[in-house]
Amino acid sequence: MHRSAPRLTRILACAAVPVMLVVAGCSSDSGDKKDADSATSASASPSATKSEPAVEAAKFAELPDPCKAVEAKTVKSLVPSAKSKNGTRGKSSDASVRGGCSWNGLADKGVKGSQYRWLDVGFTRFASDQTLGSGAARAGEEFDKQVKKTEATDGAKNVKTGPVSGIGDQATKITYDQSKTDEDFRFTTIVARTGNVVVVVNYNGAGYAGSKTPDAETILKGATMAAEDAVAAVAEANAGGAESPKATDEPSDDSSKKPSKKPSSSAKATS
């Protein structure tokens, strides 16, 4: 009887083992199911299928003819003895993206000397791109680059930079002096952004043969007049509407539509 008791204990212990394994197995299956449910939920998360918002459409799809962007009366006033009243067109591989024009001339005043004037205007248009960003944002970056580039002009003296109101969405004036051909020149550059287009206007002058150097206010006022004309010309060239969201640098077919009247000039430059 004393030998059978230990044997019975061992039998009961072994019999209990399958029960414990079954319980452990059920617990393991339950954990696997929870993990599978979590994985399924994660794969179905809305963030996994979220798409990027469409980039804002560019405002302008066309550029104006640069040699007609500044009104004839403005050119006559700023460069009265221009060699070519129609201007000299800059070279461009795509006139819908980039363009420019310049005028220059020397007004001979006899014994009073001569007055030299130079005017040029340049346009750069930026299309909206899903990867690169909106045309307006890209134009804003170019605007900043052009301002810094002008401020760093080689040989420039007395450089002053300030905002200009009433020209496009934003505009900055940079005035400075520079000596060339043994003469003192006065310069004003106005960098403006209207929508997705950057406009750069340069106006400068000098006195020759004893004639006085033009004052800074005269040159600033002239550059402002030309910038107002150029920015207004961009709006006129795009009277048909804005660029589509899937814009490219191809010209639109709406350029034939023109407003009846160019907006009047209202900006006032400050020294």
Q: Which amino acid is at 178?
A: Q
Residue 250: the pLDDT is 38
pLDDT given at position 20: 39
Report percent pLDDT > 90 for the chain: 65
User: What mean pLDDT is predicted for residues 119-130?
Assistant: 97
What Å distances lie between residue 136 and 48, 58, 140, 194, 253, CA to CA? 30, 7, 6, 8, 21
Pick the residue with more confidence: 102 or 4?
Answer: 102
Query: pLDDT tier at 28 (50, 70, 90 boundaries)?
Result: very low
Confidence of residue 14 (pLDDT cuts 50, 70, 90): very low
More confident residue, 7 or 67: 67
Collapsed DSSP state (helix, strand, coil) of residue 240: coil
- Which pLDDT band, with edges at 50, 70 and 90, does 202 fall under? very high
Give the span between the Cα atoms of 264 and 76, in whole angstroms. 18
Mean pLDDT of the chain: 81
Burial of 2 (0-12, 13-18, 19+ CB in 10 A): exposed
Looking at residue 111, its pLDDT comes to: 82
Question: What integer pLDDT is reported at residue 181 of this predicted model?
Answer: 82
The rounded distance, in Å, linking the Cα atoms of 79 and 72 is 10
Higher pLDDT, 9 or 22: 9
- Among residues 126, 124, 141, the alpha carbon closest in space to that of 90 is found at 124
Quickly state the pLDDT bin for 39 (edges 50, 70, 90). Answer: very low
Q: What is the mean pLDDT of residues 26-34?
A: 48
Query: What is d(CA 106, CA 113) in angstroms, rounded to the nearest whole number?
Result: 10
Question: Cα separation of 26 and 91, whole Å?
Answer: 81
On the question of pLDDT at 209 being above 50, the answer is yes
Give Dmax (Cα) for the chain: 147
- Report the pLDDT averaged over residues 76-82: 96
Cα 233 from Cα 140, distance rounded (Å): 19
> What is the arithmetic mean of pLDDT over 117-142?
97
Q: Whole-angstrom distance between the N-terminal and C-terminal Cα of the chain?
A: 121
Structure confidence by residue, pLDDT tens digits, 88-118: 999 999 999 999 999 999 999 888 899 999 9
User: Which helix (H) or strand (E) covers residue 222, if one does?
Assistant: helix 216-237
Put simply, whether the predicted model's pTM sits higher than 0.75 gets the answer no
Residue-level pLDDT at 138:
98
DSSP reduced 3-state for 29: helix
Q: What is the pLDDT, as a whole number, of residue 97?
A: 97
Q: Mean pLDDT, to the nearest integer, of 34-40?
A: 48
pLDDT tens digits along 134-189: 999 999 999 999 999 999 999 999 999 999 999 999 999 999 999 988 899 999 99
The pLDDT of residue 109 is: 83
Query: Does pLDDT of 244 surpass 90?
Result: no
E strand or H helix at 220: helix 216-237
